[in-house]
Structure 1
Amino acid sequence: MYEFLSIILIVFGILQIILFFKTWIMTNDVKKIKEIAQEGNNSSWDVAKIETLAGNYDKAFEIYQKCFISDVYEMYSSTMRAIRYEYSEGYDKIVKKYKKQLETLKGDYSIDFEKYDTREKIREMIFRA
């Protein structure tokens, strides 16, 4: 009886070890999926750059504006429980990135950055939508 129980426990232990490593490998797959999803977000950014190079500034501006709103919303979602300082610090980085890119467009293109500068303003827009 003890031999049978020992064999079952050894098999169970081996299966637990295999399950542990399968789970570990799966977390790496999730990281890869996340990277691919983030690259997908950047594809719109690349399209806007191509439109800028092609001289379609209105279309490029429209895409940049959508990307900006998407980035701000993503940051808003990720900093829901964070302190206000973290939101404003991340927001400032996003604004700097888009101001630099909008300078490449010929003409008077600007995003109303103050419209999105606090979490409270974003929350109001979400609830109105």
Structure 2
Amino acid sequence: MKVREGRQAKIEEGGASYTAIVWEAVVAHPWVSDEIHREQLSAIIEAAKRKNVTVQVLPFSAGALAAETSGFSSFSFDSDPTVEAVAIENLRGTSVLEAPEDLAAYGNAYDLLRSAALAPDASIKLIRDILRKTKEDTS
């Protein structure tokens, strides 16, 4: 928890860059109450306004690519975007991978996901459209 809070503070201060690639199903379908879903979508839109934050949506049309890839976080600790560690959350905690072959595999997966995702502007437009629709549905 402390690591996440520290990372979030660094991002908010502009001291770190952050890129999120999220599957369209995550933003399109509420896994929580409608109110919380709208708050989450609004928070994503606000975060994406930062110069050091990039948000991309992996559309349903990416098909199998989205289904084959489980969630992971990759980290680079300097200005070079080379993957230096990968974190995978699971039922028992977080596993950290640092072996060169693991980093290469996840670096390739990230590149594939990023190239299949919508551009940042199109991603935010999609999220805004979904947010607008959720507001209309409750009116």
**Structure label with greater radius of gyration:** 1
Which protein is richer in strand relative to its size?
2
Report the TM-score when normalising by structure 1. Answer: 0.29
Name which structure has the greater RCO, CA cutoff 8 Å, separation 6+.
2
Report the TM-score when normalising by structure 2. Answer: 0.28
